Amino acid sequence: MQSFKVLVVEDFEQFRRFVCLLLQPREEFQVDTVADGLEAVQKAEQLQPDLILLDVGLPGLNGIEVAKRVRTLAPAAKILFFSVESDADLISEALSLGAGYINKLRAQRDLLPAVEAVLRGERFVSPEFGPNAGTDAPHRHEVQFYSADSVLLESFSRFIIPALEAGYAAIVLATKSHRESLVQRLKAAGFDVDNAMQQGTYFSLDAADMLLTIMTRGVPDVARFFEGLCGLIESAAKATKKDHPRIAICGECVGLLCALRNVTAAIQLEKAGNELIQKHNVDILCAYPLSSFQAGEGFAAFQNICAEHTAVYSR
């Protein structure tokens, strides 16, 4: 098997770990990481990597300047940029120095296909950044079935961190313990969550309280659900002070319903989520404990829930 030396250059630790996690299953990749531009230039000269995954916005020396120097010091290295910046001139300059440009917010979707294409000598650009761009990337309504709280917290962190890093907003509907643990994870990753809450770009709400508000005799009032959540989305979008902000929503209301064996209500809320992503600029990640699903009837519920989502993860 041919092996490839890959250098990941990213100053944000949590995202750097995320990229490494995506590459980890591929045994042919030998991965090194650095956190700033000057270090990247030195490491590239020393390592002579086959591929450099390069953040555009780096401290010390930005990604564009790094690429210019690397072209001389490690001429065989292929360069794949990642960023949330969509400026056409910036993308054009990056592509003149490298073989690809992907959207950080869509790394889970685009990173491996981009890496494979670039290593084959092809060019890869995330669709929303390409020549036919003009509409946003498809909205996501994903589901995580989790076996332990640590898995839920990891998946929630991974889902909302790119949005927060881009200056967008996040809404979390979870249990008290999960919300508190998630805040600690985000703070450990370098986010000023307290300030984000004050600014209105991070909402942390109790999932059980939300259910008390919208449930009547075991049936969700979808109109009331929309009214409350849409108000939060609009408020969060305004607080970002950005054009067309993308809001990340993580929730386990449906997981609580499923744990209570009210799968019908959970699926009704999932359908409401599908309607929500059609009307608002949001991505949604739902979470269910795997312990809620048992053989027989539980498997049918599992299938029905999966059918309402654009991607399914289970761990």
Using a pLDDT cut of 90, give the percent of the chain over it. 43
pLDDT at 184: 93
Q: What is the gyration radius of the CA atoms in the chain, in angstroms?
A: 21
User: Which position has the higher pLDDT, 218 or 130?
Assistant: 218
User: Which position has the higher pLDDT, 306 or 75?
Assistant: 75
143 confidence band (pLDDT: 50, 70, 90): confident
Q: Mutual orientation of helices 176-188 and 149-165 as an angle, nearest 10°?
A: 50
Which is it for the CA torsion 92, 98, 103, 106, positive or negative?
positive
The pLDDT of 305-313, averaged and rounded, is: 81
Is 135 a residue whose pLDDT tops 50? no
Is 296 a residue whose pLDDT tops 50? no
User: Which position has the higher pLDDT, 44 or 314?
Assistant: 44
Which is it for the CA torsion 43, 48, 54, 56, positive or negative?
positive
Average pLDDT, the chain: 87
Question: What domains can be seen in the chain, in order of their start residue?
Answer: 4-129 (3.40.50.2300), 141-314 (3.40.50.300)
137 confidence band (pLDDT: 50, 70, 90): low
Is 91 a residue whose pLDDT tops 80? yes
Give the SS3 label for residue 130: coil
Give the SS3 label for residue 72: helix
Is 52 a residue whose pLDDT tops 90? yes
pLDDT at 294: 62
Q: How far apart are CA 120 and CA 7, in angstroms?
A: 17
The pLDDT of 70-88, averaged and rounded, is: 89
DSSP letter (8 states) at residue 291: G
Strand order in the sheet with 141-146: 202-206, 169-174, 247-251, 282-289, 141-146, 311-314
132 confidence band (pLDDT: 50, 70, 90): very low
Is 231 a residue whose pLDDT tops 50? yes
